[in-house]
Amino acid sequence: MDRREIAGLLAYMGRLDPRTMRTDPGELRDQVDQWQELLGDVPLATDYGWDARTAIRSHVVSSPYPVLPVDVARQWAKHSADRLARHTDPVPTADPDDVESWRAELLGTRHAVLAGQRPPNEQRAITSGATVDPAVEARLRAIGSCIPPAVRADLARFRPTRAAREAAAVEGRPDPLAVRCEWCQAPAGEPCRNRRMGLDGGARGNARRSKPHPSRLDLAAAALHRQESAA
């Protein structure tokens, strides 16, 4: 803000909070000097959401103390930090092999965002929403997971049941978990369980088995065979 803008801002502030009004010409000049010293770098308003008058007004509304120039400077700092936080560096138009110009363009864009001369480039905001791009969703459904194959392989030892099913599917072997186990009554998708009957007829054990019951494997093989002959 230049001196003229500062004087206008002070007049506006004086109307909202008469305590800050200076009527003596000497005092008014000192006040303009002080404010200009602290707010010389802060714009009066930008096209992208900043207005020093709004900062003054919100301070008057929310605080019992007279507005100080640092209050405006702090609000400006917060405003530009918020903008930069939302900014994602766009790919510069400069030749990537020309490191100097590439760097200068990146920094120039950031400075322009900080100074409120251009809006932040908000690519991140587009992908952070709850809605997923339909094309991405279809691909995820097709591969069945958003975990990359290499990571899935690493995770396999922590999820042996799932890993065994995936291996079976990839190799075209029957997947026992695709069918219900008639032996232990485990529903499709659930691993077999060791059920032991107590003397009173109640179940005594219910531990998961790492391997399915052999009869379930036979059932799965038969189901796979039926599927293949139908296709």
Contact footprint for Zn ion (CB under 5 A): 181, 183-184, 186, 192, 213
Contact between 118 and 112 under an 8 Å Cβ cutoff? The reply is yes
CB of 165 to Zn ion, least distance (A): 15
Angstrom distances, CA of residue 109 to CA of 14, 91, 112, 143, 215: 37, 10, 5, 39, 67
CB of 186 to Zn ion, least distance (A): 5
Pick the closer one to Zn ion by CB: 6 or 192.
192
Pick the closer one to Zn ion by CB: 69 or 176.
176
CB of 191 to Zn ion, least distance (A): 8
CB of 157 to Zn ion, least distance (A): 23
Contact between 48 and 119 under an 8 Å Cβ cutoff? The reply is yes
- Sign of torsion, CA 202 208 211 215? positive
Pick the closer one to Zn ion by CB: 42 or 192.
192
* Residues 222, 231: Cα–Cα separation, whole Å: 14
Angle between helices 99-114 and 69-86 (to 10 degrees): 130
Pick the closer one to Zn ion by CB: 113 or 184.
184
CB of 151 to Zn ion, least distance (A): 30
Q: Facing residues of 31 across strands?
A: none
Local structure of 195: helix, strand or coil: strand
Pick the closer one to Zn ion by CB: 102 or 183.
183
Pick the closer one to Zn ion by CB: 13 or 164.
164
Q: Facing residues of 193 across strands?
A: 208
CB of 209 to Zn ion, least distance (A): 7
By C-alpha distance, which of 95, 83, 157 is closest to 125? 83
